[in-house]
Amino acid sequence: YQFAVAIQEPKQLDFFKEHVGPDLVAQQFFQILKATTSENHQELEAVVPDPAYRKAFLTLSRNLAPTGKKFETIEFRVPAGGSPVVLTSGARTIINHTLKNRQPKTGADSAQENPEEHVGILRAVHLDSDYLILVVDDKPLRVEGLKDEMDDVIGPMVNKKVKVSITRDPKGRFHFRDIELEE
């Protein structure tokens, strides 16, 4: 399979704003994508200093990386040359490891250090109310604590099979850690 993504300049530029051309956007995208798959965490921190953006880019890159079940490799390249960025299921494993190791410990995490993973159908997302509903074995599971998860990441997963990583607090409530599509 092959597909192309075009980055185009706006027809009318903003007055007094700094011009950012498509080449710079593409170059930065490739630099971030490459850094997310590196085991050298300082590389990603140098390219994306803000921790919230770093987590967002890691999650988005992970969602691009193949699981190995349907295909093993995806390659990104710029038509003008330069070295391609290749994502494999191994890169997905590295990104997952990075995401798990960078999650801050919360009160819910101290109740159970090893998160549980539940596979089910994501039926609802309520970002404003800070929870999602996962249906596992025909039973709804309310998972709280989405915090600053992005609708662009979770939204397309609604009504699809997902794997959700959670912890339980002493009262038995489920707290969100991570989510990804289950193939």
Per-residue pLDDT reduced to its tens digit, 21-76: 777 788 888 899 999 988 888 899 999 999 888 988 998 899 889 988 888 999 88
Query: In this predicted structure, what is the pLDDT of residue 3?
Result: 66
Residue intervals of the chain classified under CATH 2.40.50.320 are 107-181
Confidence of residue 134 (pLDDT cuts 50, 70, 90): very high
Question: Using a CB cutoff of 8 Å and minimum separation of 24, what contacts does 122-127 make?
Answer: 122/154, 122/157, 122/158, 122/159, 122/160, 122/162, 122/164, 122/179, 123/158, 123/159, 124/158, 125/151, 125/154, 125/155, 125/158, 127/151, 127/154
Residue 109 confidence (pLDDT) above 50: no
Percent of the chain clearing pLDDT 70 (strictly above): 86
Q: Which residue has the higher pLDDT, 104 or 20?
A: 20
Which CATH architecture does the domain made up of 107-181 adopt? Beta Barrel (2.40)
Confidence of residue 138 (pLDDT cuts 50, 70, 90): very high
Q: Which residue has the higher pLDDT, 108 or 153?
A: 153
Which token pair is 29? Answer: 């995208």
Q: Which residue has the higher pLDDT, 127 or 10?
A: 127
Query: In this predicted structure, what is the pLDDT of residue 128?
Result: 85
Q: Identify whether the C-beta of residue 118 lies closer than 8 Å to the C-beta of residue 108.
A: no
The CA distance from 166 to 174, in Å, is: 6
Classify strands 174-181 and 139-144 as parallel, antiparallel or unpaired.
Answer: parallel
Residue 9 confidence (pLDDT) above 80: no
The CA distance from 154 to 125, in Å, is: 8
Query: In this predicted structure, what is the pLDDT of residue 103?
Result: 63
Residue 101 confidence (pLDDT) above 50: yes
